[in-house]
Amino acid sequence: MDAQEIFEQWKAADNLPDYLQDQLDTLGKDQSWVEDAFGQDINFGTAGMRGKLEPGTNRINLFTIARVTEGMARLIDEKGEEAKKRGVVISFDSRYHSREFAQYAARILATHGIHVYLFDDLRPTPELSYAVRHLHTYAGINITASHNAKQYNGYKAYGEDGAQMAPENADRLFEFAQKVENIFDIKADQVEKLRQNGSLQLIGEDVDEAYLEELKKVTVDKEMVKANADKLKIIYTPLHGTGKMLYDRAFRQGGFDNVIPVASQSIIDPEFPTTIKPNPEYRDVFEPGFKLADEVNANVIIATDPDADRMGAAVRKSDGSFQVLTGNQIATLMSYYLLVHLKESNKLSSDYEIVTSVVSSALPFKIAKDFGIKTKHVLTGFKYIGEEVDRMNKEKDGKFLMGFEESYGYLFKPFARDKDAMQGALMFAEVASYYASRGMTVFDGLQEIWQKYGVAYEITRAIEMPGIGGQKKMAELMSKLRNEHLSEINGTKVLKIQDFLKKETIEDGKVTPLEGFPESNVLKYFLDDETWVALRPSGTEPVIKAYVGVNRATIEEAEKAAEDYQTALAELLK
């Protein structure tokens, strides 16, 4: 069927909620919208799926959620009775329809005889990751669109290790979902029946207590924190999301009593009324925090995104203004602190390892080399960091110190296998305590690191390619660049190219195998001014991520150079 026929089929469905029927009537007047919303099925990538909250097969709604969940149910049916008995744990965030989608997914799975643990209220993504491991479930589901704008929602699928579902199972799940003949007739028994027969179980405080107990292990120098935390006032904002559920208990048990919430952003609100996009990399989300920090004389602001897997921070500079740190700068500060602590406490050994993605800052690796510890690059996606943790545990050849991604994701203790903003917030508060113990601000500490190791600066941009033709355009652009073997970017010579899809390295005209990575549609270029750039189509959004990392003598020079390279990449991708 074509898009118009599928649209008419949706209009004729007799079980559409009123809000979806109203949207169909209104949006359906635009034929271009019909083509985009019904012309293809929404993409299910390695991180699940994400899209606008609208009717259509290429959108997020009750029925696309149902179809994918039916795919998961059939996958678990195929795995057998043990997998069904272990079951699935489900959480959700503060977005529109998140609770509704989570409960519907729970009903579908439980109707298949699969045991379901459903959180009684919204919870952070990392707690869901932890719960999979804690409850020994076969899989996990989180209804969230992370840091996207209010118009979006999404679906993240997790494997039994607590990391995002491995490609082979994710692909199989999607195959099953594609075979669903009628998405309006997926069986889902009523909650009361499923509760009474024991197949649907509510969880909440029991898992909270266990997760909070694990969070106590994140702090590495409790005595230093105890002696210096009172010197700090920390402003915290959950950006209207799930961080509110646990932040107070997490900070207090970590020794941080002077944590002041941003009241306007501590209201659970799917409108995200204080910001256009609740992403802690954007300065505007910190504006209410800046005002509060000035009122109470605080120097540190910590923000977690609505599903509390990403953590951002702003710190006061010597002129009194606030600097919003990049994810890479936060990771640099935390990795340096951890290594200094290990060295000063005579615990530093060469088998410690820092793990990060191929598109994250090189500066923490430079610091790690100076301290004599191991480093490991993996592909983007925290599941790859989790795989490296598992490998180290299995082969007994390393000790995990931290993992991070430039996109504001950090992990220190792998009781969760996804990025954990609660862990990140606690570690950043400890870093602030460390610099307070030395009579310094966090921003002073960053300057100290730059003076010692040089200024590294990175920018990530998402170049949008929306619409039904967006995926095709992204594929064509990446194929074109892959075949061209660029010799220069922004007038600077390319020394080496890493192609993670073809798994090859091109250097001095020679092609050699690129080993140690699975296939991924990523191109990374190394230039002769110590700059690196990378391009990666997103698996969940119609965007190509463009990454730039530069090294310069000053931050001002670095920021300008990075912007110039981003402009050049935008031209390449037109």
**Residue 352 pairs with which residues in a beta bridge?**
399
User: What is the chain's mean pLDDT, rounded?
Assistant: 96
Q: Mean pLDDT over residues 40-45, rounded?
A: 88
Q: How many alpha carbons fall within 13 Å on the CB side of residue 325?
A: 28
274: three-class secondary structure by DSSP: coil
What domains does the chain contain, in order, with CATH numbers? Answer: 3-211 (3.40.120.10), 229-453 (3.40.120.10), 456-572 (3.30.310)
Instruction: Answer whether 481's CB lies under 8 Å from 489's CB.
Output: no
Helix, strand, coil fractions of the chain, as percent rounded to 5: 45, 20, 35
> Is pLDDT at 569 greater than 80 in this prediction?
yes
**Please, is 446 exposed, middle or buried when counting C-beta atoms within 10 Å of its C-beta (0-12, 13-18, 19+)?**
buried
Name the pairing type of β-strands 200-203 and 116-119: parallel
For 384-414, b/e burial (b = at least 16 CB within 10 A) is: bbbbbbeebeeeeebebbbbbbbbbbbbbeb
Name the pairing type of β-strands 352-357 and 374-378: parallel
Q: What is the CA radius of gyration of the chain?
A: 24
Instruction: Answer whether 492's CB lies under 8 Å from 531's CB.
Output: yes
Q: Mean pLDDT over residues 67-72, rounded?
A: 98
Residue 370 identity: D
State the Cα angle at 217 between 215 and 220, rounded to 5°. 125
The predicted structure's pLDDT at residue 46:
67
Q: What is the pLDDT of residues 389-426, one digit of tens each?
A: 999 999 999 999 999 999 999 999 999 999 999 999 99
How many angstroms separate the CA atoms of 29 and 10, rounded?
14
Nearest residue to 253 (alpha-carbon basis) of 425, 386, 101: 425
Q: What is the pLDDT of residues 239-259, one digit of tens each?
A: 999 999 999 999 999 999 999
How many angstroms separate the CA atoms of 549 and 559, rounded?
10
Q: Mean pLDDT over residues 199-221, rounded?
A: 98
What does each C-alpha distance from 520 to 218, 462, 538 come to in angstroms? 32, 18, 11
455 confidence band (pLDDT: 50, 70, 90): very high
Q: Tell me which of 117-121, 275-279, 335-339, 468-472 is least confident.
A: 468-472
The predicted structure's pLDDT at residue 538:
80
The predicted structure's pLDDT at residue 540:
65
Instruction: Answer whether 68's CB lies under 8 Å from 23's CB.
Output: no
- Residue 207, sorted as left (phi over 0), alpha (psi -120 to 50) or beta, turns out to be alpha
How many angstroms separate the CA atoms of 386 and 388, rounded?
5
Q: Mean pLDDT over residues 209-226, rounded?
A: 98
At 109, list the tokens. Answer: 């799975």
Catalytic residue among 91, 94, 146, 538: 146
The predicted structure's pLDDT at residue 466:
78
The predicted structure's pLDDT at residue 566:
96
Q: Say which residues have a Cβ less than 8 Å from residue 517's Cβ, sequence separation at least 6.
A: 358, 378, 379, 500, 503
> Is pLDDT at 539 greater than 80 in this prediction?
no
Instruction: Answer whether 343's CB lies under 8 Å from 367's CB.
Output: no
The predicted structure's pLDDT at residue 245:
97
Q: What is the pLDDT of residues 460-491, one digit of tens each?
A: 998 988 776 787 889 889 999 999 999 999 99
The predicted structure's pLDDT at residue 468:
67
Q: What is the pLDDT of residues 545-568, one digit of tens each?
A: 999 999 999 999 999 999 999 999
- Residue 28, sorted as left (phi over 0), alpha (psi -120 to 50) or beta, turns out to be alpha
Q: Say whether 345 is catalytic.
A: no
Query: Any idea what DSSP says for residue 48?
Result: B
The predicted structure's pLDDT at residue 66:
98
